[in-house]
Amino acid sequence: MDLVSLALALRREAAATNERRALVIAGERERGYDLLESVLDALSVGITETTLVGPDDRLRCEQVEQTGADELLGTTRELLVLDAHADLQPNALGMVVGAVDGGGLLVLLTPPLEEWPDRRGRFSESMAVPPASLADVTGRFVGRVAETLRAHRGIAIVDADSETIVDDGLVEPAPLQLRTSEPATPLERRASTESPMRFPTAAYEACLTGDQADAVAAMESLFEPDRAVVLEANRGRGKSSAAGIAAGCFALEGSDVLVTAPAARNATELFARTREIIDSLEREQPDSEPAVDATRDGLDVRTSAGGRVRFRDPDAAVRTIRTGGECSDRAAALDPDIVIVDEAAALPVSTLEGFLETDRVAFATTIHGYEGAGRGFSVRFRDRLEEASHEVVNRSMTDPIRYAAGDPLEVWSFRALGLDARPPVAPLVDDATPDRARYRALEPSALLADESLLREAFGLLVQAHYRTEPNDLARLLDAPNLTARALTVEGHVVSVALLASEGGLARETRAEMYEGGRVRGNLLPDVLASQLRDEDAGEPSGLRVVRIATHHAARSRGLGSALLERIREEFGEEVDWLGTAFGATPGLLEFWGDNGFGAVHVSTTKNAASGEHSTFMLAPTSERGRELADRHAARFIRRLPAFVSDSLADVDPDVIRAVLRTVDASPSLALSDHEWRVVAGAAYGPGRFDVDPGPFREVVCRGLVGDSTPTDLAAADERLLVARVLQGRAWESVAELLEYHSAGQCRRALGDALVPLVEAYGTDPALEVRDRFS
Ligand SMILES: CC(=O)SCCNC(=O)CCNC(=O)[C@H](O)C(C)(C)COP(=O)(O)OP(=O)(O)OC[C@H]1O[C@@H](n2cnc3c(N)ncnc32)[C@H](O)[C@@H]1OP(=O)(O)O
Ligand SMILES: Nc1ncnc2c1ncn2[C@@H]1O[C@H](COP(=O)(O)OP(=O)(O)OP(=O)(O)O)[C@@H](O)[C@H]1O
């Protein structure tokens, strides 16, 4: 068989099964393009159905760079060509495979497969983090891709240089078994369930799979108040469409449905289904007005029953819900009846929480995305959803829509990119304890040799962290600055940490950082040098815990702490410090604080993904590390009063309290006699905080920094001291935030909260004031 016949045979097979096939053309690049041209001529796929992903615009079709492959998300092509000669971006590979339609073909242009792992492209360069260089970056990830291409079905491999077919990739599917009965249609499936059908039958006729019908049926529960529906699915299972069909049905009933998603373009499929169902049902009613698109982009659809489906970006959507009818913006003023959040996993948890203020809400979320295997939704938001008053209806969707179940390219890409990596099932680890656990390194070679170890370790990292992507798997295997450690029980991973070497930088690199230049990796030295203006911060060497996770079935038993302890034992002699940076929550700050990490900085802006401010922490392991940590802790407490009232004024007071508690330094307190009289006057007498906040801030910092907080200070007092004194929030907003009846009550409470601080630190003039008023 020649290459053209092979390509035609692959396409035929793909079309017959509604699966996808891949053709790898491996060899010299120009030769590969020559062969590709002949394949394209023979396949005669339309230009609009073909895309080349690669560095040069060489074919007569759309072309995008690998770094721009996210344009393909949510779209499909019959033919996708990925030119991986000069570079392979792991995330792009995932997105490209995801965009091949059922019946379609993926063509990969690669160097000779045996040489491919030795090539270094832009992605490899991005892993050359100083002091390491490109020569230290390995090619294991590409080796894994090549090996899995060889091993998986449905993937043909052609040697372009010798023009030989190494593997024809044909699966030769058995002819379809004669079925004794036709499977139920989505409508029949819905009709066969016990619950009465509340959407019109057309809604179920519009569904493409039984799973989708189940999802639409779950959405019917939003007819009742206090319901939250969660639709979880891999990509391309039709969850957005299910939500769109349901939105249309509610609007046909006269409801106002607000749809939100990270970006308007994410909502196009949803609105397409909404419009289809509304158009089809309104056409049946002779005297009805047609659905009106009030906006040019089609993201506002109305029905003759007065219903509406409209898009708002997430922040505007939350504002709409919070302000309800009191909003001055007329368009936003309408309080929606139902809110649908699409691609919820890509939104910050703080934004998601805002949607819980509405009583009928649906979240559609991707489990294994091609752009990332993010599970932020399940990791962080699930608990909060369970605590809310809504009754939660969960549906997961597994039947793919764009191609048949069991499609070989999905199986291959999930394996090669770790997209379906999962932690061990709970029963395997739920009796894990620190003394039964074994500490082990997860060397790349060991991970490659043991697929189940790799799946468990990477799966745990994915599950624990919002947006762990194929790029992260590649980094784990190839980046010279990264390493991983785990605790296992009976061979199963129960706790895992990803570690990055940082610091140990040459003088020139440090100077570059200090002068604002971009130096790869080295997050902590970079923040300390470029933002906190410490040119020497990159000199000591350190180990940053990039990510740590304990299996959810074994948390709070000391495993995470034990893992950190073992890491400290192993690396303590080699490095000067351990460090970490993460989206600050009170619980996590407590975990790190208990493990000897002290905060030295909090980012001035929120992390776009987590919606939280990052905290930077150090735990010294040598004298040099101690000097670095002490210097930054001392500077941190010095700048705290001004810093918190400025950049951190909107942060949750509990986060600020937790940050302060971890700081490894004690602020000095040098108020003048007069200043002490002012503070004591507000604590015991008619004095006022707002006429001279400076001395109060110093006293409160002294009280809340470190772990020697006066014991009679209650948590509620601490919150008030943070919100009013340190953050400088107005009385009214503090009263509202902390649920005081009035600003006046809040004022009086502040006086009381100051008392333990004056008792603990006040000098004689302060005590004289106290005695005078008591
Ligand atoms: C750089 C980073 O990776 S930061 C991100 C850390 N990872 C995650 O958030 C992933 C999800 N969480 C986890 O996997 C785990 O909770 C870890 C890794 C944070 C802690 O692992 P564990 O094995 O539970 O740690 P360990 O048992 O030693 O300590 C638990 C203590 O940490 C604190 N803690 C940790 N996380 C939380 C939290 N989310 N909320 C409240 N307290 C917490 C508590 O003090 C807890 O003790 P408690 O349960 O008695 O109240
Ligand atoms: N009921 C339907 N009618 C017509 N087309 C549909 C239907 N359901 C899904 N599709 C098509 O299948 C593809 C995947 O559907 P959809 O975008 O709803 O899935 P998804 O699970 O949200 O996937 P993704 O996460 O990739 O957005 C889309 O191209 C969509 O047009």
pLDDT single digits (tens) 546-559: 999 999 899 999 99
Q: Are residues 344 and 489 in the same domain?
A: no
Query: Taking Cα atoms as reference points, which of 628, 530, 516, 512 lies closest to residue 579?
Result: 628
Which residue among 468, 550, 652 is best mutated to probe the pocket of ligand 1, counting the most ligand atoms within 8 A of its Cβ?
550
**Residue 477 · residue 137 · CB < 8 Å:** no
Q: Looking at ligand 1, which residue's alpha carbon is closest to its atom 48?
A: 556
Q: 649 pLDDT exceeds 90?
A: yes
pLDDT at residue 295, as a whole number = 54
Task: List residues near ligand 2 (CB under 6 A).
Answer: 74, 206-208, 212, 233, 235-241, 269, 273, 366, 401-402
* Within a domain: 577: yes
Q: Looking at ligand 2, which residue's alpha carbon is closest to its atom 16?
A: 238
Position 8 confidence tier, pLDDT thresholds 50, 70, 90: very high
pLDDT single digits (tens) 68-116: 998 887 788 999 999 999 999 999 999 999 899 999 999 999 999 999 9
Q: 702 pLDDT exceeds 60?
A: yes
Pairing of strands 300-302, 155-159: unpaired
Q: Are residues 119 and 37 in the same domain?
A: yes
Q: Looking at ligand 1, which residue's alpha carbon is closest to its atom 50?
A: 556
Structural domain ending residue among the three candidates 642, 662, 682: 662
Return contacts of 433-437, CB within 8 angstroms, 24+ apart: 433/557, 433/558, 433/559, 434/487, 434/557, 434/558, 434/559, 434/561, 434/562, 436/489, 437/487, 437/488, 437/489, 437/494, 437/495, 437/559, 437/562
Is ligand 1 within 6 A of the CB of residue 556?
Answer: yes
pLDDT at residue 466, as a whole number = 59
pLDDT at residue 60, as a whole number = 87
pLDDT single digits (tens) 123-138: 999 999 999 999 999 9
Q: 633 pLDDT exceeds 70?
A: yes
Q: 607 pLDDT exceeds 90?
A: no
Q: Is 549 annotated as a binding residue?
A: yes
Query: Taking Cα atoms as reference points, which of 202, 304, 182, 285 lies closest to residue 245?
Result: 202
- Compute the C-alpha angle 256/260/266, nearest 5°: 130
Distance 476 CA to ligand 1 centre (A): 23
Q: Is 548 annotated as a binding residue?
A: yes
Q: Which domain holds residue 358?
A: 186-397
* Within a domain: 446: yes
Distance 212 CA to ligand 2 centre (A): 10
pLDDT at residue 374, as a whole number = 43
Which residues contact residue 617 at a Cβ distance below 8 angstroms, ignoring those fewer than 6 apart?
579, 580, 581, 592, 597, 598, 599, 600, 662
Distance 350 CA to ligand 1 centre (A): 19
Q: Which two tokens stand for residue 52?
A: 């080349």
pLDDT at residue 692, as a whole number = 96
Q: Is 604 annotated as a binding residue?
A: no
Distance CA(492)–CA(553), nearest Å, equals 13
Q: Are residues 215 and 111 in the same domain?
A: no
pLDDT single digits (tens) 189-199: 899 988 899 99
pLDDT single digits (tens) 246-264: 999 999 999 999 999 988 8
Q: Which two tokens stand for residue 109?
A: 């242009």
Share above pLDDT 90 across residues of the chain, in percent, rounded to a whole number = 78
Q: Are residues 192 and 294 in the same domain?
A: yes
Distance CA(529)–CA(502), nearest Å, equals 13
Distance 356 CA to ligand 2 centre (A): 26
Is ligand 1 within 6 A of the CB of residue 516?
Answer: no
Question: Locate tokens 């493990």: which residue?
Answer: 595
Q: Is 436 annotated as a binding residue?
A: no
**Residue 62 · residue 52 · CB < 8 Å:** yes
Which residue among 375, 545, 556, 610 is best mutated to probe the pocket of ligand 1, counting the most ligand atoms within 8 A of its Cβ?
556
Total domain count, the chain: 4
* Within a domain: 180: no
Q: 178 pLDDT exceeds 50?
A: no
Structural domain ending residue among the three candidates 631, 662, 693: 662
pLDDT at residue 182, as a whole number = 62
Position 291 confidence tier, pLDDT thresholds 50, 70, 90: low
| C-alpha dist (Å) from residue 636 to 273, 528, 601, 623, 701 | 53, 11, 7, 20, 11
CATH of the domain at 235: 3.40.50.300
pLDDT at residue 516, as a whole number = 94
Distance CA(130)–CA(127), nearest Å, equals 9
Structural domain ending residue among the three candidates 662, 691, 707: 662
Alpha helices by DSSP H, listed for 19-121, are: 29-43, 90-98
Radius of gyration of the chain (CA): 30
pLDDT single digits (tens) 439-480: 999 999 999 999 999 999 999 988 777 567 899 999 999 999
**Residue 256 · residue 307 · CB < 8 Å:** yes
Average pLDDT along the chain:
91
Q: Are residues 608 and 573 in the same domain?
A: yes
pLDDT at residue 1, as a whole number = 84
Hey, is 595 helix, strand or coil? Answer: coil
Query: Taking Cα atoms as reference points, which of 405, 3, 382, 343 lies closest to residue 166?
Result: 3
Q: Which two tokens stand for residue 471?
A: 């790029």
Is ligand 1 within 6 A of the CB of residue 464?
Answer: yes
* Within a domain: 668: no
Ranges assigned E (strand) in 551-704: 577-583, 598-606, 613-620
Q: Are residues 59 and 203 in the same domain?
A: no
pLDDT at residue 286, as a whole number = 54
Query: Taking Cα atoms as reference points, which of 86, 74, 77 lies closest to residue 116?
Result: 86
- Closest ligand 2 atom, residue 207 Cα: 1
Q: Are residues 202 and 105 in the same domain?
A: no
Distance 215 CA to ligand 2 centre (A): 13
Helix (H) or strand (E) holding 325: none
Is ligand 1 within 6 A of the CB of residue 561?
Answer: yes
pLDDT single digits (tens) 497-534: 999 999 999 999 999 999 999 999 999 999 999 999 99
Q: Are residues 237 and 336 in the same domain?
A: yes
Helix (H) or strand (E) holding 88: none
- Closest ligand 1 atom, residue 552 Cα: 14
Nearest ligand to the CA of 378 is: 1
Q: Which two tokens stand for residue 739?
A: 């649920």
When pLDDT is averaged across residues 619-640 and rounded to a whole number, the result is: 97
Q: Are residues 493 and 596 in the same domain?
A: yes
pLDDT at residue 289, as a whole number = 53
Distance 580 CA to ligand 1 centre (A): 14
* Within a domain: 697: yes
Nearest ligand to the CA of 206 is: 2
Pairing of strands 438-441, 541-550: unpaired
Q: Are residues 457 and 376 in the same domain?
A: no
Q: Are residues 465 and 612 in the same domain?
A: yes
Position 335 confidence tier, pLDDT thresholds 50, 70, 90: confident
Query: Taking Cα atoms as reference points, which of 629, 619, 531, 546 lies closest to residue 583?
Result: 546
pLDDT single digits (tens) 552-601: 899 999 999 999 999 999 999 999 999 999 989 999 999 999 999 999 99
Lowest mean pLDDT among 147-156, 294-303, 370-379, 712-721: 370-379
CATH of the domain at 582: 3.40.630.30
* Within a domain: 405: no
Distance 727 CA to ligand 1 centre (A): 27
* Within a domain: 693: yes
Q: Are residues 322 and 425 in the same domain?
A: no
Which residues contact residue 96 at a Cβ distance below 8 angstroms, ignoring those fewer than 6 apart?
53, 69, 72, 80, 82, 106
Is ligand 1 within 6 A of the CB of residue 560?
Answer: yes
* Within a domain: 411: no
- Closest ligand 2 atom, residue 76 Cα: 29
- Closest ligand 1 atom, residue 498 Cα: 3
Q: Report ipTM (2 d.p.).
A: 0.90
Position 298 confidence tier, pLDDT thresholds 50, 70, 90: confident
- Closest ligand 1 atom, residue 564 Cα: 28
